[in-house]
Amino acid sequence: MSYIVADNLVKKYGEGETVVSAVDGISFKIKEGEFVGIMGESGAGKSTILGMLGAMNAPTSGSLRVADIDIYSLGQEQRADFRREFLGFVFQSFHLVSYLTVIENIMLPLAIIKAGKRKKREMAEEAMNQVGLSGKAHRLPSQISGGEKERVAIARSIVNEPPVLLADEPTGNLDTKTSHDIMELLHRLNDEGMTIVMVTHSPDCAGYAQRIIKVSDGKLVGYYSKKYANA
Amino acid sequence: MTLKTISIRNLLRRKGKAGFVLAGLVVGVSTVVGIFSFVEAMTSDINHKLEQYGANILIVPKTENLALSYGGLTLGGVSFEMQEIQEQELTRVRTIKNSRNIAALGPLVLGVVNVGTHKVLMAGVDFKAAQILKPWWHLKGTVPQENGVILGSESARILNLGIGDRIGIRNKKLVVSGVLQSTGSQDDQLIFTRLVTAQSIFNKNGRISMAEVAALCKDCPIGAMVKQISDVLPGAKVMAIQQVVKSRMETLAQFKKFSFGISGVILLIGSLVVLVTMMGSVRERTDEIGIFRAIGFRKRHIMGIVFMEASIISGLAGIIGYFTGFGVAKAALKVFSENHSGNVPFSFELAVGAIVTALIVGLISSAYPAFMASRLDPNEALRSL
């Protein structure tokens, strides 16, 4: 059964003659536990699709269901709750909070949940261990490398164990070796049952996805099912 | 990790901005506290002085005569239907609603006596009440017994009498037990004796010429007390001697109003400093707020962070502002108060008021920035998505 169902998604910006279609009638389905890559040239609409999947960018028309929830029928605050419970985000430029330590950044999604101090710390430490960041808990983002920042971003996105991880160019700012490590990490998380949707330019990264959705000029131009590159 | 952790960490990171907001509020709060403390201390100081001022209510018999004196020159007067007050009636004064405000009640009997070749005004007084009613008296000698008198400085000089001298007044031999130092008042011209002695000399047993009341204390409703005494003594004319008091209190009231106006303006400026700085802070943190919203923070969580920061700074500003204002008031009082005591009592109410005021100003000023922060669209805030 499909976990994510996008039906004829349209996103237009502007009005009248200046209207621009960023996404123009895209439909797709993603199964639970699937690792899907979204590829396309710059301006193709990949990030707009990811924004819509992230319950942060309402489509002009069409519908999007995640876990059978029509997310754009929810109010703004309910969508915030949805993001907290269902989604983890990994951003291209990490978007770590500069004045919080590594462990505090990881614990950010836990700041608003009802759980004891110890429980929150245990969850954060577990996420840190999963991404291989042990021993760096009390460093600030400025004191760690790009690859480590990406790991912190991933740990933050998985700390509250959401079923879906959305990643926007997760290796965009990393060298080849670090990119490979990060993709291995995402692959492992997918193996553990997490549904991952990743926007990428990189064919190497796309190689880790089980399926590629290719978009161009806001339209879906093809599906490519690929086996995991290193399998 | 809670919202409070985020607020505290952010304040520690943006020390300059937090310090600027803190300084703005501290200036506002300390000014208000300083002015409140200063005015309070000045009022207390003036009240203390007024308590030493002596009588401020006169009770005299109702009369139909007009005073025939001008500029210290008395030409005599004609009294019609002059009534005297019965001494016993004075006990009613102690029954008025504001009787607890009466510090002293001094009956006085007056009459003219001949001493040698001089006519002198003699006053029979209650010397115990006189201690409060006439604090400016400095007596050389002792308070007279039943057959004694004390002399005003001028009367002693003119009559050429001193302590231990004897004078004959209407067949009574009286001993001079003391002489008052010059007061610059009419008292210098008088001879004082005990009330009963004077009543006996003037054949006015049980009657008095007038009475003085000292009711100069904090919050004394002088006007109301005059009315209350008039009601219990319908045969007497009750007058308030409060011109000096009134003008000083009015000056203080004007100063109070002016000070409170200035405090309000300073608080307003402080709140604008908070508003502008917090708005700037919110704009700087667009990215960060976008992250918070993207990972599921609700609007109220974002507002909670901003309000938490404002509360921490405001609370701190309230505490620092109170002590700064307290110090400023102490220093100002040393300069402006006549006795240079600089004594400003610690006021728990004012301390709590300062903190609460700072919190209210801080929170109200942060309301708009907090609202704007909560309205940030996470998708626009995070342009990468």
Concatenate the DSSP letters of all residues of chain A into one string: -EEEEEEEEEEEES-GGG-EEEEEEEEEEEETT-EEEEE-STTSSHHHHHHHHTTSS--SEEEEEETTEEGGGS-HHHHHHHHHHHEEEE-TT----TTS-HHHHHHGGGTTS---HHHHHHHHHHHHHHHT-TT-TT--GGGS-HHHHHHHHHHHHHTT--SEEEEESTTTTS-HHHHHHHHHHHHHHHHTT-EEEEE-S-HHHHTTSSEEEEEETTEEEEEEE---TT-
Q: Mean pLDDT, to the nearest integer, of B249-258?
A: 78
* CA distance linking residue B152 with residue B182, whole number of Å: 7
A108 contacts B291? CB cut-off 8 A: yes
B188 neighbors B152 (Cβ within 8 angstroms): yes
pLDDT at residue A225 in the model: 77
pTM as predicted: 0.69
A156 contacts B295? CB cut-off 8 A: yes
Question: CA torsion A171→A172→A175→A180, rounded to 10°?
Answer: 20
Nearest chain B alpha carbon to A165: B295
pLDDT digits (tens, 9 = 90+) for B319-329: 999 999 988 88
pLDDT for A92 beyond 50: yes
pLDDT for B385 beyond 50: no
How many residues comprise chain A?
231
pLDDT digits (tens, 9 = 90+) for A122-132: 999 988 888 88
pLDDT for B306 beyond 90: yes
Q: Mean pLDDT, to the nearest integer, of A159-180?
A: 87
Most B CBs within 10 Å, among A100, A160, A201, to test the B interface: A100
pLDDT digits (tens, 9 = 90+) for B55-67: 678 888 887 666 5
- Confidence bin at B216 (pLDDT 50/70/90): low
* CA distance linking residue B277 with residue B20, whole number of Å: 8
- Confidence bin at B281 (pLDDT 50/70/90): confident
| Nearest CA-CA distance, residue A107 and chain B, Å | 6
A155 neighbors A127 (Cβ within 8 angstroms): yes
| Nearest CA-CA distance, residue A231 and chain B, Å | 30
- Confidence bin at A166 (pLDDT 50/70/90): very high
pLDDT at residue B41 in the model: 79
Locate B225 and state its tokens.
Answer: 């007390």
B4 touches A at CB < 8 Å: no
B378 contacts A111? CB cut-off 8 A: no
Q: What share of chain B is helix, strand, coil (3-state, %, to 5)?
A: 55, 15, 25
pLDDT at residue B150 in the model: 95
The mean of the pLDDT values for chain B is: 84
- Please, is B1 exposed, middle or buried when counting C-beta atoms within 10 Å of its C-beta (0-12, 13-18, 19+)? buried
Number of other residues whose CB lies within 10 A of the CB of residue A126: 14
B296 touches A at CB < 8 Å: yes
Portion of chain B with pLDDT greater than 90, in percent: 36
A84 contacts B384? CB cut-off 8 A: no
- Confidence bin at B316 (pLDDT 50/70/90): very high
How many residues comprise chain B?
385
Contact list, A112 vs chain B (CB under 8 Å): 3, 296-298, 301
Q: Please give the ipTM for the structure prediction.
A: 0.89
pLDDT for B244 beyond 60: no
Q: How far is CA B298 from the centre of its chain?
A: 52
B335 touches A at CB < 8 Å: no
Residue ranges of domains in chain A, CATH in brackets = 2-225 (3.40.50.300)
* CA distance linking residue B174 with residue B197, whole number of Å: 10
Question: Which one has a higher pLDDT value, B75 or B17?
Answer: B17
B296 contacts A83? CB cut-off 8 A: yes
3-state class (DSSP) for residue B82 = coil
The mean of the pLDDT values for chain A is: 88
Q: Mean pLDDT, to the nearest integer, of A96-112?
A: 92
